[in-house]
Amino acid sequence: MGTLTQDDDQMTWKTSKLSALHEKLTQLAKEPSVTFHFRPSKSLTVCPPGILTKPDTLGPGARNQRKMWKDLIEGRSENHQLKHGYYCVRLPDDEERARKISRLDSQLLAAEFFDTTEPWNSVTDRRRFGIPNFVADVGGLLVKLIQN
């Protein structure tokens, strides 16, 4: 990986290494799944769920985008189907981070947001919202994969 240098108080990556890293990440992002080889005779294919972040940045005027996100979360999008569906998480905004709110307070704010804000409050499957639900569900998927 590139070396980090400091020039006039700005951190910059050496361009060639960053370009190579960007190219590799772009290539990996286009692949539908990741395969891990952990034994010579077995391989494990992981199809991760999708994660939608920053739903609080979609203002009231972004009706089409909010509808698209809701369709993704409810599994009704024809063009973007994932085996394990999509989750939506809300992270602390700049002000909340500046106040250094606790993880619990962050999770309570996210839960309140999803419970009181359209269209998220009309989604039936409430497990699709919040980091704790995402972590619990993905943990369960990993346990099943390891057991098999």
Instruction: Encode pLDDT of 48-68 as tens digits.
Output: 899 999 999 998 899 999 999
Return the pLDDT at 76. 92
Q: Residue 102 is part of a domain; what is its CATH number?
A: 3.40.50.300
Residue pair 110/88 in contact (Cβ under 8 Å)? The answer is no
pTM for the full predicted model: 0.67
Residues 76 and 133 in one domain: yes
Measure CA of the first residue to CA of the last residue in the chain; give whole Å.
Answer: 35
Q: Which residue has the higher pLDDT, 77 or 37?
A: 77
Residues 32 and 55 in one domain: no
Peptide bond into 60 cis (omega under 30): no
Phi and psi of 9, rounded to 5°? 65, 15
Per-residue pLDDT tens over the stretch 26-49: 555 555 555 544 455 555 566 889
Residues 63 and 131 in one domain: yes
- Summary mean pLDDT of the chain: 80
What distance in Å separates the CA atoms of residue 31 and residue 19, rounded to the nearest whole number? 19
Domain that holds residue 16: 4-45
Neighbours of 129 (CB within 10 A): 24
